[in-house]
């Protein structure tokens, strides 16, 4: 009798130990079938990110490489779909409707209202260094320009796309302009024709390095670079709040780690070569707009 009671108590005690061991193993993630549990990712939130991107071949190559590198460095896998090359106005509609995931654009209050901005410069301040396409033989007009006032006194009219951030900046600096809706790429031939009331077409330094060979009917102005203190940023589709939240953190890291500067230098090395020769040009500083539409944080004094 005593022996049976001792045996029963021992069995109960062993059962309790087994339950406790089972619970501990489960909480530790042990595979209770007898094999070891798989190792967890260092970042449990890492996942596949699918991006739909568009633009010119050069623009697509840059944004897809930058976003892919940024995501992969944080453990995400990435799939990128190229939706094609469309006019900027069409791409903005596609961005608004979620047909593309993200797009690099000049920052404006209107775009901030339509899309989700990520306030990180995306070109390492190359796009806001503007170099001019001018008609053949027009260089002599620009040769004596030393200051913004000299440039203003020429009375020359800029050719700009209707949705460009440059529009407000040119107005803020009392510089004449005309805009074109639809496909802004018609501006090249309109400036070259010299009969459309448009005298020059400003392009970002990296854009000029890519485009000058494509437009032999235009000259690249040799001496000047018009500079304003506002890089282009990335806008995310308003249909994808999760992607916006992800990039708000990751693109800051990409900037602070030097990744954006590294990729810009890699993709746009030709800005240092003729005919762009960015480092050898005379800088003409342009002010940013100061109005209720533009937050004060955007309006940084030139040179700061």
- Domain end point (choices 197, 227, 257): 227
Q: Tell me, yes or no, whether 108 and 179 share the same domain.
A: no
Question: Is the Cβ–Cβ distance between 169 and 294 less than 8 Å?
Answer: no
Question: Which among 293, 171, 276 has a CA at the least distance from the CA of 225?
Answer: 276
| CATH number, residue 259 | 3.40.190.10
pLDDT-derived band at 6, boundaries 50, 70, 90: very low
Q: Is the model's pLDDT at 22 over the cut of 70?
A: no
As for how many domains the chain has, the answer is: 2
Sheet (strand 102-105) strand order: 102-105, 233-236, 116-118
pLDDT-derived band at 154, boundaries 50, 70, 90: very high
CA triplet 115, 121, 298: central angle to 5 degrees? 75
The per-residue pLDDT for 163 is 87
Q: What is the token pair recorded at 274?
A: 């003729």
Question: Beta partners for 79?
Answer: 50
**Between 10 and 221, whose confidence is greater?**
221
Q: Is the model's pLDDT at 2 over the cut of 50?
A: no
- Domain end point (choices 227, 249, 276): 227
Q: Tell me, yes or no, whether 245 and 98 share the same domain.
A: yes
Please compute the mean of the pLDDT values over residues 75-96 and round it to a whole number. Answer: 96
Q: Tell me, yes or no, whether 221 and 249 share the same domain.
A: no
Q: Tell me, yes or no, whether 110 and 138 share the same domain.
A: no
pLDDT-derived band at 34, boundaries 50, 70, 90: very low
Q: Considering the domain boundaries, does residue 264 fall inside one?
A: yes
pLDDT-derived band at 45, boundaries 50, 70, 90: low
Note down the domain range covering 184: 129-227
User: Can you give the three-state secondary structure of 228-271, one letter per residue?
Assistant: CCCCCEEEECCCCHHHHHHHHHHHHHHHHCCHHHHHHHHHCHHH
Q: Is the model's pLDDT at 168 over the cut of 50?
A: yes
Q: Tell me, yes or no, whether 138 and 118 share the same domain.
A: no
Q: Considering the domain boundaries, does residue 1 fall inside one?
A: no
Q: How many helices (H) and strands (E) does the chain have?
A: 11, 12
- Domain end point (choices 227, 251, 277): 227
* Number of neighbours of residue 180 by Cβ within 10 angstroms: 17
Q: Considering the domain boundaries, does residue 29 fall inside one?
A: no
Least confident of 21-35, 69-83, 117-131: 21-35
Q: Tell me, yes or no, whether 223 and 235 share the same domain.
A: no
User: Is the sign of the CA dihedral 59, 255, 52, 92 positive or negative?
Assistant: negative
Q: Tell me, yes or no, whether 199 and 212 share the same domain.
A: yes
Q: Tell me, yes or no, whether 138 and 252 share the same domain.
A: no
Q: Tell me, yes or no, whether 92 and 181 share the same domain.
A: no
Q: Tell me, yes or no, whether 160 and 218 share the same domain.
A: yes
Q: Tell me, yes or no, whether 79 and 92 share the same domain.
A: yes
Whether the full predicted model's pTM is greater than 0.75, yes or no, is yes
Q: Considering the domain boundaries, does residue 148 fall inside one?
A: yes
Please compute the mean of the pLDDT values over residues 173-182 and round it to a whole number. Answer: 95
Question: Beta partners for 220?
Answer: 133
């Amino acid at each position: 009798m005593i022996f049976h009671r001792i045996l029963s108590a021992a069995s109960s005690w062993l059962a309790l130990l087994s339950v406790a061991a089972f619970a501990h193993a489960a909480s530790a993630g042990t595979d209770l079938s007898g094999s070891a549990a798989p190792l967890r990712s260092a970042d449990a939130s890492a996942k596949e990110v699918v991006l739909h991107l568009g633009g010119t071949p050069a623009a697509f190559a840059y944004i897809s490489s930058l976003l892919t590198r940024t995501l992969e460095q944080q453990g995400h896998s990435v799939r990128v779909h190229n939706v094609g090359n469309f006019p900027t106005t069409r791409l903005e509609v596609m961005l608004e409707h979620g047909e593309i995931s993200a797009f690099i654009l000049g920052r404006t209050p209107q775009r901030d209202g339509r899309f989700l901005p990520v306030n990180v410069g995306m070109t390492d301040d190359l796009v806001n260094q503007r170099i001019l396409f001018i008609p053949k033989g027009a260089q002599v007009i620009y040769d004596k320009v030393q200051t913004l006032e000299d440039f203003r006194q020429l009375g020359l009219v800029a050719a700009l796309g209707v949705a460009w951030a440059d529009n407000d900046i040119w107005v803020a600096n009392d510089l004449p302009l005309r805009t074109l809706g639809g496909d802004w790429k018609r501006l090249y031939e309109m400036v070259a024709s010299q009969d459309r009331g448009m005298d020059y077409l400003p392009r970002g330094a990296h854009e000029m390095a890519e485009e000058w060979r494509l437009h032999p009917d235009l000259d690249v102005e040799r001496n000047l670079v018009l500079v304003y203190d506002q890089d282009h940023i990335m806008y995310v589709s308003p249909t994808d709040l999760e992607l916006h939240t992800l990039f708000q953190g990751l693109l800051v890291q990409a900037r602070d780690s030097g990744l954006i500067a590294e990729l810009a230098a890699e993709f746009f090395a030709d800005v240092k070569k003729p005919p762009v020769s960015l480092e050898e040009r005379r800088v003409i500083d342009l002010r940013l707009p100061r109005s209720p539409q533009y937050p004060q944080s955007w309006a940084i004094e030139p040179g700061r």
